[in-house]
Amino acid sequence: MNEQTELQRKGQAAKQASRKLAVLDTNTKNKALMAMADALMANQEAILAANETDLANAEAKGTSKALMDRLRLTDKRLADMAEGLRQIAALPDPIGEGVDAFCRPNGLEIRKVRVPFGVIGIIYEARPNVTADAAGLCLKSGNAVMLRGGSEAIHSNIAVIETLAEAAYANGIPEGTFQFITTTDRAVVNEMLKLNQYLDVIIPRGGAGLIQTVVNNSTVPVIETGVGICHTYIDETADFDMAEAIACNAKISRPGVCNAMETLLVHEAIADTFLPRLMEAFRKAGVVVRGCARTMAILADAQEATDEDWATEYHDLILSVRVVRDVEEAIEHIARYTTHHSEAIVTNDYNNARLFQMSVDAAAVYVNASTRFTDGFEFGFGAEIGISTQKLHARGPMGLKELTSVKYLINGNGQIR
């Protein structure tokens, strides 16, 4: 008999735990989540020390500042992770929630209720906060979870998941609920993608390369999360103060995340006035602009944008800028290059705002707000597994309900067909 691999052993353990977890009462889950949050803060020193090791290794490899920012944990970010777990505990338990109920003419009583998937596999890159978010959301939604984080964050992830698992198991959560793949060998990803016997769904969270690898090679069902080529269009009626604040927030606050702005579109009627003003703030922040011919004519230090630039998620302080004729041309540009994540318009024209929201095909479409709000925490979900950019099953920030399936419960009194 062949010896089981690490993934097979951990998959089997997760599957066994998932059966117990599916029927666990809400109070036990909430108590465990609160204990997990407390444990993160109690073990803060060790977790941050592990993160420093990862940061030092990443810096030695020449990792970009934006990706270093995604990897970095701080006191505040760790506190936010703990707060996310507490918010998940405070949310309604989706398991057993009635979705529909009806009675057939033959007397059959049929109810449609939410149930867990079972075991969720999550493959992600250098963001150790995902470890806590995933553990908390999967626990509350009754799912066991198998985590495979990026090698860049291996020490951080192990410190976080060991802290969370110890607290959870001490508070009534079935042993085996949390499985973390410790090997950094990339070959393990291919094995995970074929682990149909134990995994019910896989969710990739990372760059375009990772997501396409999973989508193209997995035999386990996949929920595709988003590469974010996010656009902001500044309409001719926009308030300049508002537009500048939104554009700066969308590009500068955290350029390495998927909801950051990558392309700015500006109406031609205001480009000569608005772009020089905006560039003052961008230059101070170190933003490099790659623009169309009109943009380059207005901004002397703008570089020429190529077709590849319009289709690039930079994860950096680089911005593509295009001057457009009107809202229709902005919508056309977005339609060509969108990754269906988050798009925004800044305008005081109601008709343009409505046209933009109705026409743009994305998971989140904003009027007069930054794309940086596309986030489970900001949407009140406590945390998120990722931003789904597909249309089947889930779309947008994936919280508790998006981590469930449904089951039909039928009660009869002897009916036969």
Q: What does the pLDDT look like over 246-301, one tens digit per residue?
A: 999 999 999 988 899 999 999 999 999 999 999 999 999 999 999 999 999 999 99
Strand 387-388 and strand 396-397: the pairing is antiparallel
- CA dist 388 and 205 (Å) reads 9
Mean pLDDT of 369-390: 88
- Reduced to 3 states (helix: H, G, I; strand: E, B; else coil), residue 345 is strand
What pLDDT is stored for residue 256 in this prediction? Answer: 83
Mean pLDDT of 45-51: 97
- CA dist 380 and 228 (Å) reads 21
- Reduced to 3 states (helix: H, G, I; strand: E, B; else coil), residue 116 is strand
In 61-153, alpha helices (H) = 65-71, 75-90, 129-140
pLDDT at 411 over 80: yes
* Contact by Cβ (8 Å): 191, 180: no
- CA dist 305 and 323 (Å) reads 12
Question: Tokens 């969370």 map to which residue?
Answer: 164
Phi/psi of residue 138, nearest 5 degrees: -65, -40
Domain boundaries, given as residue ranges, for the chain: 6-225+385-411, 230-373
Mean pLDDT of 369-394: 88
Phi/psi of residue 82, nearest 5 degrees: -65, -40
Burial class (CB in 10 A: 0-12, 13-18, 19+), 203: buried
The tokens for 43 are 């073990």
- Name residue 366's beta-bridge partners: 344
Element (H, E) at 35: helix 26-42
pLDDT digits (tens, 9 = 90+) for 96-139: 999 999 999 999 999 999 999 999 999 998 889 999 999 999 99
Phi/psi of residue 148, nearest 5 degrees: -130, 95
Beta strands, E only, 191-259:
201-205, 230-234
Question: Tokens 């959870």 map to which residue?
Answer: 168
- CA dist 295 and 310 (Å) reads 14
Of the candidates 200, 170, 181, 179, which has an alpha carbon nearest to the alpha carbon of residue 33?
Answer: 170
Torsion of CA 304, 307, 327, 317, to 10 degrees: -60
Query: Helices 26-42 and 129-140, interaxial angle, to 10°?
Result: 160
If pLDDT is split at 50, 70 and 90, which confidence band does 338 have? Answer: very high
Of the candidates 330, 382, 319, 325, which has an alpha carbon nearest to the alpha carbon of residue 353?
Answer: 330
pLDDT at 1 over 50: no
Q: What is the rounded average pLDDT for all residues in the chain?
A: 94
Q: How many residues does the chain have?
A: 417
- The Cβ of residue 1 has, within 10 Å, a number of other Cβ atoms equal to 3
- Name residue 344's beta-bridge partners: 232, 366
pTM confidence score: 0.86
Strand 109-116 and strand 98-103: the pairing is antiparallel
The tokens for 227 are 């590469």
Torsion of CA 337, 339, 345, 351, to 10 degrees: 80
pLDDT digits (tens, 9 = 90+) for 220-260: 999 988 789 999 999 999 999 999 999 999 999 999 888 99
pLDDT at 2 over 70: no
Of the candidates 311, 240, 309, which has an alpha carbon nearest to the alpha carbon of residue 276?
Answer: 240
CATH fold group of domain 6-225+385-411: Aldehyde Dehydrogenase; Chain A, domain 1 (3.40.605)
Give me the amino acid identity at 8.
Answer: Q
pLDDT digits (tens, 9 = 90+) for 59-106: 999 988 878 888 999 999 999 999 999 999 999 999 999 999 999 999
- Reduced to 3 states (helix: H, G, I; strand: E, B; else coil), residue 315 is coil
Q: Which CATH architecture has domain 230-373?
A: 3-Layer(aba) Sandwich (3.40)
* Contact by Cβ (8 Å): 179, 171: no
Mean pLDDT of 161-182: 97
DSSP secondary structure, 163-184, as one string: HHHHHHHTTTPPTTSEEE----
Question: Tokens 């949050």 map to which residue?
Answer: 37
Mean pLDDT of 158-170: 98
